Amino acid sequence: MRWWTVALPIWGVLSAQLLTQAWISWLGIPIYLAGLALGRGSRHRSGTQLAACVAQLIVFAVMLAVGDILVRTILHLGHTRVEQTVYWSVAVVAFLAFMFRGRHQVKQMWVAAMAERAIEPT
């Protein structure tokens, strides 16, 4: 068994998680901007959450870029068609699963920004 058969699926899941978190943070920016402009809740809280979303977006994007550099240039993975197929098949499934879970985070961000009643977890 080749070592990349373990490394690439792990990187597929990690990169999908980092991309999902970056995407959710990206979505949080306009949500909290709307909360600052239109929300009935605390402007201080919306501003703090906006800053947290920007910081998270930067951190997750940098971690994704550094991981990609590590995998491609230092470990020399992802250059053959088989390696790419292994990575993408794991990453796409993981990304879809993480985005399905992340939709609740986006709803909660909207509720917090607009100071509506809390949504019951499903």
Model pTM score: 0.80
Average pLDDT over the chain reads 85
In a domain, 7, yes or no: no
Read out DSSP for 91-107? Answer: HHHHHHHHHHHHHHHHH
In a domain, 4, yes or no: no
* 7 contacts: CB under 8 Å, gap ≥ 6: 71, 75, 77
* 33 contacts: CB under 8 Å, gap ≥ 6: 50
In a domain, 71, yes or no: yes
pLDDT at 112 over 90: no
Where in the sequence is the domain holding 100, given as residue range(s)? Answer: 15-114
In a domain, 54, yes or no: yes
pLDDT at 117: 47
Domain count, the chain: 1
In a domain, 1, yes or no: no
